[in-house]
Every structure is written in C-alpha cells, then in structure tokens.
Structure 1
Amino acid sequence: MAYSRRTLLGGLVGGLGGFSLPIVVGNAMGGALSAADQAFSKLAVSWLDQSMRFNPVAATAIGDHRFDALMTDFSPKGRAAALDFAKTTLRALKAIDSESLSRANQVDASMLANALESQIWTTEIGQDWAWNPLVWQEVAGGAIYSLMAREFAPLPTRLIRATARMNAIPAFLAETRASLVPARVPMPHAVTYAAQNKGLKSILSEMITPNLSALEGKDRAALEAAMAVFSAAIDSHQSWIETVLVPAAQGEFRAGAARFDQQLRYTLLSPLSRQDIRTRAEAAVIEVRAKMYHAACMALKGVADAPPTPANPTDAQRQNAIRAALDLAAADRPARHALVETSTKATQIAREFVVAKDLITLPEGPVRIILMPEFQRGFAVAYCDSPGPLEKHLDTFYAVSPIPDEWSEEQAISFTREYNRRAIQDIAVHEAMPGHYVQIFHANAYPSILRAVLSSGSFVEGWAVYGETMMVEEGFMADDPLYHLTQLKILLRAISNAIIDQAIHVDGWSEAQVMTFLTQTAFQEEREAAGKWRRAQLSITQLSTYFVGFSEHMEARAAAKAKQGSAFSLKAYHDGILSFGSPPVRYARALLLDEAIV
C-alpha cells in the first residue's frame, strides 16, 4: 500500500517539538481577529518557530531553511526541552476561549491540542525514542536527503549545509546508541533498521559524489572530509546494529489495547472507536467482495475454462471466480526493472482522464516518478513526497520501490502479479492523479502553515483511496472489467489494513492468521501479504487511516449531495473539500457545509 510522506511530517514535528518567515497561522479565511484569535495566532507562531528549532531536519522538509546546517537534538536534554515547551504551549492553548475563535481557528486549535497531547504522551508513555530505531532513522536519513532532493537553493549552498550535517552525524548516531535500549527494541524494527542504515551511504554515491565539482578549494576539501566522517560513522553504527542491537532485540512489537486505542485517537482525531472501525470494516469486506464477484463475472465472460459464475454463488464459487479473474489481471505484468517506466505511463493516462472529465482543478507542473531512496525501503511499495508548505513551487516525487536484487525470480513474479499493469494504474491514481499529488497541491494553497504541518493522515490517505473509487464511478477504464476488479481489490486492501492493524496489535493475530486473511479473504499475493505483515509490525494505527479516511470522504460527499441537490457539482465539491488544507475530514466537511465544528 502506498502512502504520503506529508502525513509523517506532523508526527515528526509534534513528536520532537518564531517563524521569521511571512506566514499565516490564524484566521486563515480572512476577517477581523477577535482577542481569542489574536492570542491563538501568537501562540501558533511561537509553536511553529520553536518546533522548527527543536527539529531542524523536519524544518528543512517543511521549507524553513534557517537551520539547514544543524541536526535535531534527540538527547535527554533536547527531549526534555521539547517536552517542557509542549506542556507550556498546551496550558496556554487551553486558556484561550475556543468558542470565541473563528471557525478556521477552532479547527487549527483542535489539531494543535491533539498534536501537543500526542507529543507529551509519546515522550512520557510511548517512549518511541527508547525502543523504536526507525524514529532515529527518519531523522538520520532525512538530514542529508532533504537538502539534496530539491533545488530550493543553489547546489553549492546545499552542499555546504550537507557538509555540516554529515559532520554532525557521528554525534547523532552516538546518541542513538545511548538512548535506544536494545532489549526493548522489537526484532522486526531491529532488522529493518539494519537494512535501512546501510542505505544511508547511497545518499553519498547518488546525491553527493556526482556533485563534488560544484565546490572548489577548502569547501570541497571540507565536503570530502565530511563524507569520510559520515561513511565511517555509518559503518561503525552498522557494526553496533548487527553485533549489539539485533542480537539483543526482544521487545514486544504488539501495542496492546490500551496503547493502541490511545494512539488511534491521536492518529485519527475522530470519534470512531477501535470497535466502530472493526464493525464498519468487516461489513465493508462483505460488500466489496460482492462487487468483486460481479466484476469477475463480467471479466470471465467468454474465457475458456472459466469457473462457473452463478447468480447466487456459494462461498467457494465466489472465491474461485474472483481468483480466476484476478489471475487474468496478474498475468499482464511489467518487467522486473520497468516499474518506474510503467508508473510514469500510468500517471499520464490518469491525468488525461481527469482533464477530459474536468473532475478537479489540477496543478500545472508534473509529478516526478523516481526510484525510492534506499534508506526508505522496507516499509511501503510507493509513496508521494510533496514539497513542504513553504516551498509549494518545488517538485513532487512519486517514489516507487524497486524489486530487491536478492529476490528470486519466483518472488519477483509474486510481486509483479500483485503490482501488475492494472494495479500500477490504480496506484498512479492514488499517488498522483487525482490522489496525493493533487490533494496536497490544493492543501498548499490554504494559508495556515500550522494546519499544513499538522496534516491529518486520515484526510490525506482517505482522499487518495476515495480518488480511486471516484475515478471508476466516473468511467475510468470503463471498458475493462479487470481494471474495475483490480481497483476493488486494492480498496479491499485498504479495508483489510484497518482490520489487521488492530487484529495484530490488540487481538494477537499470528503471522499465519494474517497471511491467510490477506491471501484468501483479500486475494493478495504472497509477497504483498508478507510485506504487509512486516509493515504492520513496524507501525501502529497508520494502517487504519486509509479506510477511516475513505469512509469519511464518502460520507462527506453524500452529505454535500443531499444538501445541494440539483446544484451539486462534482468538480466544485472536490475543489471545495480540498480548499481547507488537510484537517480531519469531519472538520473539512463542517467548514464546507457550514455544520457545527465538534
């Protein structure tokens, strides 16, 4: 399953942490500021400024380049300072009369309170810094990558800043070793960390070495020396990972009910409980599988040796028919090394349809399809990496993970059966047209930087899943029942994500149970199911954002249709619901339809 890296920025900033930049944070929709709005605006500016100071790496990604030469301070002193600031800010926020705020600021205030409460809970109770090495990896990898991936400043300037950060990496990795408690680290996290840490050196070979000629004299000498320091530090840290961390890792990766439920509330900022989500998801599985059977029947018409497709099938007949039709789609696979090329073509096809149907206002610039950086691999198959809200003019990347070289041909075939040409077409809709790329383009037009930094994962991921369904509703690939079937299968994947998220972390499902559920009920190929088992072990509640957000987007559109009647316009609705940035869907719906903000 793909995802948007934008949804991780809010957690990264909140988990760690005065804009001198000309930004808007309060009363973003215009109008006179009340005393409460003025107090909130001042507080929001202070929080944004200090959060960037606490986390320079996140600041670079967001587009605040005041601290590009600095590293994030994850030491006990740094964590304590960030925690103290979060508590002080939360007290000040609670002292503001929320009912006197503008509707826009009521939303932002709720999102900020949620982020602060999440930060405090994560630091004091969750303690990710002590057991989750991937939190440290996100910073170590982003430190140099975020400086080199986009041309926000001249290349020599970015290389000089990268020099400073590379020189700071040894101390950061030393703090990583001092803070992590190997016995508390779960084995899946340790193994993934071992693979990703090695990938950090690819940043040198792919982004720094080819650009050495941009510097001369002492600046180049300093850069080359820093590269040696960086490389040696990564090697030394890798040795520690392999000889100390991995052998000692015995932490429990399952969250348990109490922790899962608390984190779910922070992740979703939704009144839906874990039990509500499970009930909805299990009903949706039945509904989508019924639609898949209908699409399979259409696809199997005239196919020799096709299984029977009666109007009232038994469970076995339904299963066999869907599987047989999916096998037809799986047979149309891209070449092992052609994933980027195939994704690029699929993105263009989706864009042409969106333009022809005039479904939504589109960005003028293209999205760049790239190979996923090595240090990010092992979590998801693809992601959308949009520029920060302060740099909306820069490139958006649609990153695709290559098939690992060490995979056997059988494993590669399993992967490309799952990510066949039709599946890649649907993923292009999810990531780019009209999914993440288009949604975040609209979000970047909203003037509240605070809301952009704290963007809702369920809004962002839910929109992308909604976009897949909406495109089929509007006739995308209408003459190809196998595409419709594939899109339904990927929708079923989003629903299944929400089920296994809690089934693994709360109900204690085993790997065998998860694999059976994903391969049989959800029709996933073995490699996809195995990857999802790994991803579910590494994350808590993020997998629930797809289905919850999708459901809320579908409900919001239905409410708009009911209210507007014959005046309803799909394009106007899309532009409207996306015009408020990326808050939780219920807030965007309330702002669009003039409903109460609760």
Structure 2
Amino acid sequence: MPLLLDRRMLMAFGAAAALPLLAPLSAARAQTPALSPADAAFDALAAAWLEANLRLSPITATLWGDHRYDDRLDDLSPQGWAARRDSASAFLAQLSAFNTADLSRERQVDAAILRNSLAGEVWSHDTLQAHLWDPLIYQSSVGSALYGLVARDFAPLPTRLASATARMSGFPALLGQVRASLDPARTPKIHAETVAGQNAGLVSLVDLLLAEAGALAPEAQADLRAAAAVAKAAIAEHQAWIDTVLVSQAAGEWRLGADLYDAKLAFALDSPLSRTEIKAAAEQALAQVRAEMYDIARQVLAGAAVPPTPPKPTADQEQAAIAAALELVYADRATPETLIAVAQAKLDAAIAFVAANPIVTPPTEPVELVLTPEFQRGVAVAYCDPPGPLDRELPTFYKLSPIPEDWTPEQAESFLREYNNWTLEGLTVHEGTPGHYLQLAISNRHPSVLRSVLWSGSFVEGWACYAQDVMVEAGHRDGHPLYRLANLKFLLRVITNAILDIGVHVEGWDEAKAMHLMTHDAFQQEREAAGKWTRARVSSAQLPTYFVGWREHWSLRREAEAKAGAAFDMKAYHDTLLGYGSPPVRVSRQLMFDLPVG
C-alpha cells in the first residue's frame, strides 16, 4: 500500500535564489558535524534548499513540521510551477559545482539523493508536464492544506483554527489557480473521474474544522464560519467545473509510453535497473511464489478428495489447489462493522510481538489507526501517514478506508474476502510495525533533514514488504500455514504490481489482460483488482517500487548474512540498516560495507 504522500510530490515551488535558513529549521535537529569546508558548504546549500521549499510551499512546511507559514497557501498557478522548475534548476547548477569526492560519506549520500530529486523536478516540469494534465497532484495539496492543520496537535487548537480560517479564505483563489493550470483536453478521463469523487470529500474537512468552533472566542468563531462558507462555495464551484468541464472535455492519454515511463522509473527508483530487467525478475518470482503456495496448499488440503494435489501438478491443478487453499484463508474474515476494530487489535498485537522478539528496536513515537479522510479515498485501501521530520514526536496515522456505503453486498463481500483476517495481519504489519510506521519513525530521527524528506520509495515500500516476511520468519501467529499462505498471496500482489505497471503503461494492456493477471495469476478478488486497475491508470512508476525494494532488501540481507556467518544478528542488522535513514537500498549497501558512494 502506498504511503499517504510522497514528500517529493509535495515539494514547494522553490525560489530561484538560495534563501537563508531560519532558526526553526536549524534548531530542529543537530546535523552531523562538518568534517571539512566542503561539508560546511554543502550543508549551507542543503539548508538553503530546504528553507526555499518551506517558505514557498506553506502546505509542505506544515506537513514537514515547520509552522511559520500555517496561515498561507501555495501558489498553484502556472507561474508557481515555473518558479518550482527554475528553483530546482538553480539548485542543481549549484550542486553540480561541488566536487563530491571532497565531501564526507554522509554528505555524499545526501548530495546524490538531492541531485536525483532536483533533476527529476526539472524533467517532470519540462518533459512529463503532469501539472498540465493530472488533477490528482493538486488534490493532495488542496486537501492537505486543511488536513495538515487539524490532524495533529502540534499547537493549541485555537492557533490551528486561526490558521485554517486564513487558509479557507484563500480557497477561491487556490482552486482558481488549479483550473488555470489544468488543460482539460490533455487530462485523461480516469484522472478526471477520480478527482470528481475526491473533491467532494473536501467539504468533510471543512465540517471537521467547524465542529471545533467552540474552542474559539465569539469573534474568532464568526471568522471561522465565514471562511468555511467561502471555502465550501469555492469547493462547490470547483466541483461544478470538474463535472461540467474537466470530465466532459477530458481526452488525454493516461498511458505514458516507453520513453516517458523509463525516464520516470529511473528517477523513482534511483537505480540502474531497467524496465526489462524488472519485468523478467518479476515473472520469475511470480512462478517461484506460486510454487511455494502450491506446497502449502498440499499441506492444508491433505486428505481432501478434491482438488487433486500431485507432486508435479499441471497448470490447472496448481491453480485449483491454491484457490481451494485460499478459501480457507478467506473464511476467517471480519464484517463491515468489525473491520476497523479487528485491524486495531492486529496493530496492537504486532507492536507487542516486535517488542518481545529480537527483530528490530521498536520506536517510542505513537501510532494511531484512523479512517482515511474522504478526500484521500478511491486510490488505495490503506495508507501510512507519518509526521514530518520536524514534528517527529507526533503520531503516525495508519489509515484504513471503510467499505463504501454505496457498494452492493456482493462488492462488500469481495472486499472482505480479500482483506480477510489473515491478510489484515500482513497489511497491518506493512503499514504499521515493523513496516512503515516503525521504519519512518526511525528515519525521521536521522540527523539529515534532507534525507528524511527525500526518502527512497523503493527503500520504504520494499522494507514494508520485507518486514512482512520477517514477521512470518520470526514466528508471528505461530507460523500458521494460513498466515504464510496469506503472506505469499500478498507477495504475489507486490510482484504483479510491477508487471501490471509496465504492462499498462508501455505494452498497451487492456482491462481484460490486467484483470486476468490480478485475479487469475495473483488470486486477487474482483474489488481489489478493480481498484488496482484504477490505480495503475492514475499513477505510474510507483507500483514497481514494492517489488524492486523487496528484492533489494532481501539481497542485501543475504549478503550481510554471508559476510557475518554464524555471528549474524538480525536485530543488529536491522537497527544498522534503518539507522541510515531511507536512501536507496544500493546506497545503504555502500554505507554498510564501506564502499564508494555513487
């Protein structure tokens, strides 16, 4: 499942010139002492880049934990996008002037990560141009403008409500900028339809703020209500534009094609792996995991008359046996009414298991299970929403979407079969602990704020998938074969994510072929597969990060085990690895084995 927001997606529209680092950021965390004048110069550049992003994207600043600009909004106009591009280009030029060989290893890592991010921003603006055709990138920013103020108690409620009042007053201009930036003729229909469903959810955020009006003095209450009325009117106007203009005129192509896809994938992974190599590895892994699932199916179906489970099955026999075994997994499931409570119990149990076993040192930062806000629903079932690195003591949110009220009983049943109690176990490990919550809480402590905000998607998503395997390995749920089977099915999803993304964006797959991969090869239920079909069309180059990162994490672990031999200590290994922050796994390997960084 995805992280709630890729922090790089929320990068501010930075200034063309470097800005001085102000006290709130510099005092937030002590950087590793500079070892040379080159280190000091790089620290100044990194600080200027961070400050530019914080100052020129107030929404990003709030999410990262700098609250100087909580009463302001971003510039989402075409001019704002151009400023972002020019800023990235300017900082990239300054960074290129550095001789990275003069930097300490920690700064070499940060310089490489920053270079990839800046180059990606320039490419995104000049070549991909998603700001002209993808309304979903705006939806995240607009919703986060309010959600970032109300979700976490980083300041007294009246202070946060005052900032929300100011931001809601700016919604007419903000949403007008969105309309001015988007070209409906270039917008894909699926993107327009998806944002049409999400935009209405913004009203629920306004109502959430209004429900807290009693914390304010009478005059401030009146201001809040007036601003809320302005915001609701602006949201309604924007919804009308989405419905009558954007959706009706949307005629863009959602498939990226090989050239755009390969370039975007390279920036997303920050890895030399090619699309062809990733697909070949995924297809091989798909066959291996299905074979392992068949072995478990033979075990749990032992003594049953049907289906047959011979030692060397045909393709049809393998399919039937795995499907029959999975029915045992699906039988243990929650109801729509108990789903959230079951997930909470599994989160509590996973936290207790990690604390009691030598897997990794658990964090002390809090985590809470909450319902996914309406404006974020419709793309994925679950999210992890960590606090920014400057608000790191605040809770991480494990967000789970409820079953939509307009679903038929058959659709709800399909969902609950997919997210049965055994699968919820793995999902909670993935989003909670020792997955995203644990890993990102530790990453947020890294001395380099830059590294905390520019995390590697393949490291983070790969770790969460790898963590699911580790819990099975460590005996979570007593190694129950149905837990192992459910985990392997989840792994099939990870593998087919990569194949699906390549297939739909480069190889021209239609819905039937995509659904066959998911429902037949990966045994996904119809509701899960239908949701993933939507996600594959509205996103690109993110779905492969799970498989690539999972594979890289296991490769690094096996290399560390081989080097350490009998002295290998899994907990010490994980603590060391997570202590690097969230750089690409290949960079973690360079740090772990004292290899040249690059």
Provide the TM-score with structure 2 as the length reference: 0.97
Paired residue for 1:141? 143
Paired residue for 2:180? 178
Task: Choose which of 35, 42, 45 in structure 2 pairs with 1:43.
Answer: 45
Asked if 1:521 is matched to 2:521, the reply is yes
Task: Choose which of 52, 61, 64 in structure 1 pairs with 2:63.
Answer: 61
Take 1:401 and 1:62, find their aligned partners in 2: how far apart are those partners? Answer: 24
Pick which of 556-565 and 150-159 moved more.
Answer: 556-565
Paired residue for 2:505? 505
Structure 2 unpaired stretches of 5+: none
- From the superposition, tell whether residues 491 and 531 of structure 1 become closer, same or farther in structure 2 (CA, over 3 Å): same
Paired residue for 1:107? 109
* Structure 1 residue identity aligned to 2:310: P
Paired residue for 1:566? 566
Give the C-alpha shift of residue 261 in structure 1.
0.4
Task: Indicate conservation of the 8 Å contact 2:330/2:417, yes or no.
Answer: yes
Give the C-alpha shift of residue 364 in structure 1.
2.5
Give the C-alpha shift of residue 23 in structure 1.
4.8
Give the C-alpha shift of residue 354 in structure 1.
1.6
SS of structure 2 residue aligned to 1:405: coil
Give the C-alpha shift of residue 74 in structure 1.
1.5
Take 2:546 and 2:12, find their aligned partners in 1: how far apart are those partners? Answer: 21
- From the superposition, tell whether residues 306 and 15 of structure 1 become closer, same or farther in structure 2 (CA, over 3 Å): farther
Task: Indicate conservation of the 8 Å contact 2:354/2:360, yes or no.
Answer: yes
Asked if 1:3 is matched to 2:2, the reply is yes
SS of structure 2 residue aligned to 1:387: coil
Percent of residue pairs identical = 49
Take 1:274 and 1:65, find their aligned partners in 2: how far apart are those partners? Answer: 41
Pick which of 385-394 and 34-43 moved more.
Answer: 34-43
Take 1:323 and 1:175, find their aligned partners in 2: how far apart are those partners? Answer: 50
Take 2:220 and 2:33, find their aligned partners in 1: how far apart are those partners? Answer: 50
SS of structure 2 residue aligned to 1:253: coil
- From the superposition, tell whether residues 125 and 14 of structure 1 become closer, same or farther in structure 2 (CA, over 3 Å): farther
Paired residue for 2:582? 582
Paired residue for 1:537? 537
Take 2:536 and 2:322, find their aligned partners in 1: how far apart are those partners? Answer: 26
Asked if 1:463 is matched to 2:463, the reply is yes
Give the C-alpha shift of residue 80 in structure 1.
2.1
Take 2:433 and 2:566, find their aligned partners in 1: how far apart are those partners? Answer: 27
Task: Indicate conservation of the 8 Å contact 2:13/2:57, yes or no.
Answer: no
Paired residue for 2:134? 132
Paired residue for 2:191? 189
Take 1:152 and 1:390, find their aligned partners in 2: how far apart are those partners? Answer: 10
Paired residue for 2:554? 554
Pick which of 474-483 and 587-596 moved more.
Answer: 474-483
Paired residue for 1:332? 332
SS of structure 1 residue aligned to 2:11: helix
Give the C-alpha shift of residue 313 in structure 1.
1.0
Take 1:164 and 1:209, find their aligned partners in 2: how far apart are those partners? Answer: 14
Take 1:209 and 1:102, find their aligned partners in 2: how far apart are those partners? Answer: 51
Task: Indicate conservation of the 8 Å contact 1:24/1:447, yes or no.
Answer: no
Give the C-alpha shift of residue 425 in structure 1.
0.6
Paired residue for 1:220? 221
SS of structure 2 residue aligned to 1:397: strand
Paired residue for 1:89? 91
Paired residue for 2:268? 267
Task: Indicate conservation of the 8 Å contact 1:361/1:575, yes or no.
Answer: yes
Take 1:539 and 1:514, find their aligned partners in 2: how far apart are those partners? Answer: 15
* Structure 2 residue identity aligned to 1:97: N
Paired residue for 2:256? 255
Larger RCO of the pair (alpha carbons < 8 Å, separation 6+):
1
SS of structure 2 residue aligned to 1:389: coil
Take 2:437 and 2:369, find their aligned partners in 1: how far apart are those partners? Answer: 11
Take 2:53 and 2:341, find their aligned partners in 1: how far apart are those partners? Answer: 39
Give the C-alpha shift of residue 11 in structure 1.
2.6
Residues 236-247 of structure 1: pairs in structure 2 closer than 5 A: 236-247=237-248
Task: Indicate conservation of the 8 Å contact 2:14/2:83, yes or no.
Answer: no
Take 1:268 and 1:489, find their aligned partners in 2: how far apart are those partners? Answer: 24
Give the C-alpha shift of residue 543 in structure 1.
0.3
Take 1:181 and 1:435, find their aligned partners in 2: how far apart are those partners? Answer: 39
Paired residue for 2:427? 427
Paired residue total = 594
Structure 1 unpaired stretches of 5+: none
Task: Indicate conservation of the 8 Å contact 1:194/1:241, yes or no.
Answer: yes
* Structure 1 residue identity aligned to 2:564: Q
Stretches (4+) displaced over 4 A: 14-17, 22-25
SS of structure 2 residue aligned to 1:426: helix
Paired residue for 2:80? 78
Take 1:455 and 1:366, find their aligned partners in 2: how far apart are those partners? Answer: 21
SS of structure 1 residue aligned to 2:384: strand
Paired residue for 2:346? 346
Task: Indicate conservation of the 8 Å contact 2:14/2:88, yes or no.
Answer: no
Asked if 1:152 is matched to 2:154, the reply is yes
SS of structure 1 residue aligned to 2:254: coil
Give the C-alpha shift of residue 595 in structure 1.
2.0
* Structure 1 residue identity aligned to 2:49: W
Paired residue for 1:441? 441
Take 1:143 and 1:309, find their aligned partners in 2: how far apart are those partners? Answer: 55
Take 1:218 and 1:351, find their aligned partners in 2: how far apart are those partners? Answer: 45
Take 1:188 and 1:16, find their aligned partners in 2: how far apart are those partners? Answer: 30
Provide the TM-score with structure 1 as the length reference: 0.97
Task: Indicate conservation of the 8 Å contact 2:12/2:60, yes or no.
Answer: no
Take 2:24 and 2:169, find their aligned partners in 1: how far apart are those partners? Answer: 31
Take 1:48 and 1:188, find their aligned partners in 2: how far apart are those partners? Answer: 34
Give the C-alpha shift of residue 320 in structure 1.
0.4
SS of structure 1 residue aligned to 2:508: coil
Take 1:586 and 1:441, find their aligned partners in 2: how far apart are those partners? Answer: 21
* Structure 2 residue identity aligned to 1:351: I
Give the C-alpha shift of residue 327 in structure 1.
1.1
Give the C-alpha shift of residue 352 in structure 1.
2.4
Offset from partner CA, 1:408-442 (integer Å, 9 cap, x none): 00000001000000000110110111000100111
Take 1:561 and 1:51, find their aligned partners in 2: how far apart are those partners? Answer: 41
SS of structure 2 residue aligned to 1:447: coil
SS of structure 2 residue aligned to 1:11: coil
Offset from partner CA, 1:166-215 (integer Å, 9 cap, x none): 0111101111111111111101100010000000001122x212211011
Take 1:210 and 1:22, find their aligned partners in 2: how far apart are those partners? Answer: 31
- From the superposition, tell whether residues 32 and 246 of structure 1 become closer, same or farther in structure 2 (CA, over 3 Å): closer
SS of structure 1 residue aligned to 2:8: helix
Asked if 1:382 is matched to 2:382, the reply is yes
Give the C-alpha shift of residue 100 in structure 1.
0.9
Offset from partner CA, 1:450-493 (integer Å, 9 cap, x none): 01111111111000000001111222224421110000000110
Take 1:556 and 1:24, find their aligned partners in 2: how far apart are those partners? Answer: 34
Task: Indicate conservation of the 8 Å contact 1:23/1:448, yes or no.
Answer: no
Take 1:352 and 1:519, find their aligned partners in 2: how far apart are those partners? Answer: 34
Task: Indicate conservation of the 8 Å contact 1:15/1:122, yes or no.
Answer: no
Task: Indicate conservation of the 8 Å contact 1:337/1:402, yes or no.
Answer: no
Give the C-alpha shift of residue 77 in structure 1.
2.1
Give the C-alpha shift of residue 85 in structure 1.
1.6
* Structure 1 residue identity aligned to 2:78: P
- From the superposition, tell whether residues 255 and 16 of structure 1 become closer, same or farther in structure 2 (CA, over 3 Å): farther
Give the C-alpha shift of residue 568 in structure 1.
1.2
Give the C-alpha shift of residue 24 in structure 1.
6.5
Paired residue for 2:233? 232
Take 2:194 and 2:284, find their aligned partners in 1: how far apart are those partners? Answer: 34
SS of structure 2 residue aligned to 1:368: strand
Take 1:547 and 1:318, find their aligned partners in 2: how far apart are those partners? Answer: 23
Task: Indicate conservation of the 8 Å contact 1:11/1:454, yes or no.
Answer: no
Offset from partner CA, 1:495-521 (integer Å, 9 cap, x none): 100011111000010000000111000
